[in-house]
Amino acid sequence: MSLALEGRASISGVGQSEVGRRLGRDPLELTLDACLAAIEDAGLRPEDIDGLSTYPGAMAGQPGFTGAGVTDVHDALRLELDWFSGGMERPGQLGAAIDACAAVATGLARHVLVFRSVWEGTAQGKGGRQGIGVSGGGGGGGGYRASGPPMEYTLPFRAYSAANWIAMNAQRHFYEFGTTREQLAWIALNARRNAELNPNAIYRDPMSLDDYLAARMISTPFCLYDCDVPCDGATAVIVSHSELARDLRRRPLRVEAVGSALRGRPSWDQFDDLTTMALRDAGRMLWERTDLRPADVDVAELYDGFSFIALAWLEALGFCGKGEGGPFIEGGQRISRDGEIPLNTHGGQLSGGRLHGYGFLHEACVQLWGEAGPRQVTGAPRVAVAAAGGGPLGGCMLLVRD
């Protein structure tokens, strides 16, 4: 394992901006709030930062999907960088953090500032959510034309959203394993009861199984509460070389293992096994790189852009057997804060807000540092897994507080 990045990379600080449904604030300001908070949290100064990494970076298209690119932050903070990277062709949202681990492990940087910034709440406004590509003009005649996968092979079939695409993964899981909506509901219900204790969460009112089952359908089997809530907010983490992290303010959180694999087709609809997604491979890789086992994990923060994705991550990471996710989460005991594997302790994206992957990494760190307040998992958690991405996106990190 001497060539592995694991062990050489640690998280030394985290930061988060104000988070809200529609803040109407400058997204770059939110981004910088999170970045400066993370730098201070680590006990560093901006001039100590020599690496910068983000997902997805600057891009046009989906309103509010990105609040700042690498260049924006680089220039705003007048950073002097040895290494930087932004983009979305990588193992999911956390790919930007995994790359940062690789950068410090190989000596390309000492302290990498990793950020993710969204302002989808404000950008999308108060109307219903639009489908991808629809605002581009469309029309049977001219206007926008979809070009290349995935849009070319999804949008012409009126599949305008990942809600449609992931719903078909869930439906196949229901078919093969007998999973039910009453079981899937517990991803959303568990998230809500945790969000009730998180002052930064978007939705904090209690929700019952009846509320869930009565919600309007979006794309079967997904109802409204199976879909995450767009919001505004930014998250940042500092990835430092472990030897340097030792001398900083906080007890470093060592990156014990990462999962960045994609061994099937990189596609929403062409992946070999429709009951899972790319995250199957990322989860498998994570456990190939550590002697720890799923039973050693004290808290799991698993992406729930749609509820089914969190269920699929539970299976992929081995917290239950393949196809057993439904019975595993039913009733919500095992995934509660005092259960076998506390899940999405901040409310996930379903109730906490769609911070797009980095809310999970942030919460994993906060829990390991014992600073989660009323929602803190008891027993001083030592090992946490954070995972993000669905469809062809999937990346995960196992963190240890030594």
Partner 1 sequence: MSDKPFRVLPRVHAGNEHFWRGGREGRLQFRRCRACQTWIHPPSPVCPSCYGKDLGVEAASGLGTVASFTLNHQPWVPAPDHPYAIAIVELDEQPGLRLMSNVVNCPAESVQIGMRVRVVFEEHGDGDVWIPLFEPVEASP
Minimum separation from the CB atom of position 330 to partner 1 (A)? 22
Give residue 375's identity as a one-letter amino acid code. R
Of 134 and 380, which has the nearer Cβ to partner 1?
134
Q: At what angle do helices 307-316 and 279-288 cross, to 10 degrees?
A: 30
Of 100 and 227, which has the nearer Cβ to partner 1?
227
Of 2 and 147, which has the nearer Cβ to partner 1?
147
CA atoms within 13 A on the CB side of 18: 11
Minimum separation from the CB atom of position 161 to partner 1 (A)? 6
Of 201 and 350, which has the nearer Cβ to partner 1?
350
CA atoms within 13 A on the CB side of 378: 5
Query: How many C-beta neighbours within 10 Å does residue 373 have?
Result: 10
What's the chain's Rg over C-alpha atoms? 20
Minimum separation from the CB atom of position 337 to partner 1 (A)? 32
Minimum separation from the CB atom of position 326 to partner 1 (A)? 16
Of 52 and 218, which has the nearer Cβ to partner 1?
218
Minimum separation from the CB atom of position 139 to partner 1 (A)? 7
- DSSP-assigned letters across all residues of 229-271: ---EEEEEEEEEEHHHHTTSSSPPEEEEEEE----S-SSSS--
Note the residues at the interface with partner 1 (CB under 8 A).
128-131, 133-134, 136, 138-141, 144-147, 149, 151-161, 163-164, 167-169, 171-172, 175, 216-222, 269-270, 272, 274
C-beta separation of 322 from 348 below 8 A: no
Minimum separation from the CB atom of position 402 to partner 1 (A)? 44
Of 47 and 176, which has the nearer Cβ to partner 1?
176
Burial of 41 (0-12, 13-18, 19+ CB in 10 A): buried
